[in-house]
Each structure stands twice: as structure tokens, then as C-alpha cells.
Structure 1
Amino acid sequence: MPVILRYQGFKFFFYSNEGNPLEPAHIHVRSAGKEAKFWLSPAVSLARNDGFDARTIRVLLELTEQNQTLFEDAWHDYFA
């Protein structure tokens, strides 16, 4: 489970085994037992939310957009 970014208690990561066939590029975010998943392309969008409130999702969406290139590069480097 490569962790790409830690920010204010949030851990941005992806799972080493994302399934077969491999899903499109995405990032998971976890904090305090809650987790969300964001698709990275063609545009950042929420794929799943398990416990975060709407305000936190908005913050996480913005952070994911700001770090989209970092996350996509890490994804492609890892799964290449």
C-alpha cells in the first residue's frame, strides 16, 4: 500500500493489488477509520465515500485536484 502523501492526518494512497483487470488511476484517502476514493482522470471525481462529511469531501477533492499530477505519476510508475 504505497502512501503518496500525508496531510493533516489524511493519508493518500493506493492499494498494491488494485484488481485484475487494473482499475483506472485513482487515489484512496483515509483518516480516523474513514475512507474515500477519487478517480484521477479524465477529471478528479469522487468514486466512493465511507464516512467523511460533505465539507471534508470538498477539502479532499480540492487536495486531490492540487496533487493530481503527483498521484497519477506515482500510479503509473508503480503499475508500469
Structure 2
Amino acid sequence: MGKDKRARADNRLTAIALANLVAAIVDTMQNTDLPNDIVHHFLDELDRLNTLMLPPTGAGAFMHFVTDVLRSEAAAND
């Protein structure tokens, strides 16, 4: 039982690390003054690939949430 609990905790840490990585990439894209449509395209592609590769619950739902949060930070009308 202890190993299962540790594995779940490790999975959560991995998911958080991936979310931080994507957030850092988006932040860097915005800081280099890339147009927001490029940022949105990146997030759209990430979301599309996650939909293809991840289950709709668990990790897939988490990554969809992450991309939605990051998408809301980039203006849509620039």
C-alpha cells in the first residue's frame, strides 16, 4: 500500500512539474513579445495533442485545465 501511495504522489509532482514547464514556456513567449495568436496556437496544439494522448479524466483533465488557465492569461484580441 505504501508504494501505491508514493507512486500517486510522484505522479502528482510530475503533473505539476509539466504544468510549470508549460507555464514557463508561455510566459517566455509573452515576454519576448510574440503575438498572442501564436501563444494561443501553441496552447491549442498542446490541448489537441493532450486530447489525443491522455485519457479525458485524471491527467488529461488536469492538462486541459492548465491550458485553459494559461489561455485566459493571453489576450485574444491582439
With the shorter chain as reference, the TM-score category is: 0.3 to 0.5
More strand by share: 1
TM-score (normalised: structure 1) = 0.35
More helix by share: 2
